[in-house]
């Protein structure tokens, strides 16, 4: 296992845990989004400051659009988390992840790449798993 795979696993664990904790935190969706983004910014800031030299060739419009879409997603996601019960949060979270996985697959196809039989089967099985985990 290489370091990128380890980072992906750690990110997956963290992205799997924080929404469950946020759901239990009791904040409404908008305040929850603000608090989450603020705490995340405080945590990330020292690491970002050490890399500021890398912003010279940035495509700012793309970054602004990405941040806007991420912010909208965070508001909807935390809005869902604030209303979900302990019983419904996991199936809703699984639904979000299945949709999230579908987006890069569609992007992959739009960019002219083909899907192998193995990847296509994996994608279909992921959708089936998401449906079964959500009912």
114-123, pLDDT tens digit by residue?
878 888 888 8
Q: Is 1 exposed, middle or buried (0-12, 13-18, 19+ CB in 10 A)?
A: exposed
70 and 120: one domain? no
44 and 11: one domain? yes
7 and 68: one domain? yes
Statement: residue 135 has pLDDT above 80: no
Q: Is the pTM of this model over 0.85?
A: no
Count structural domains, the chain: 2
Nearest to 22 by CA among 100, 85, 78, 91: 78
- pLDDT tens digits along 9-47: 999 999 999 999 999 999 999 999 999 999 999 999 999
1 and 49: one domain? yes
Return the pLDDT at 131. Answer: 81
Return the pLDDT at 81. Answer: 92
Residue numbers of the domain that contains 51: 1-83
d(C-alpha 36, C-alpha 18), whole Å: 9
Return the pLDDT at 75. Answer: 96
Q: Final residue of a domain: which of 47, 66, 83?
A: 83
| 77-86 average pLDDT score | 93
Reported confidence tier of residue 65, pLDDT bands at 50, 70, 90: very high
């Amino acid at each position: 296992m290489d370091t990128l795979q380890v980072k992906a696993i750690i990110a997956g664990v963290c992205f799997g845990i924080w929404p469950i904790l946020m759901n239990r935190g009791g904040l409404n969706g908008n305040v929850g989004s603000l608090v989450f983004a603020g705490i995340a910014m405080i945590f990330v800031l020292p690491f970002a400051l050490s890399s500021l030299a890398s912003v010279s060739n940035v495509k700012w419009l793309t970054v602004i659009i990405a941040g806007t879409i991420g912010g909208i997603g965070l508001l909807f996601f935390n809005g869902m988390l604030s209303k979900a019960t302990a019983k419904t949060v996991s199936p809703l979270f699984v639904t979000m992840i299945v949709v999230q996985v579908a987006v890069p697959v569609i992007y992959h196809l739009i960019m002219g790449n083909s899907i192998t039989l193995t990847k296509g089967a994996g994608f279909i099985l992921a959708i089936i798993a998401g449906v079964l985990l959500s009912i």
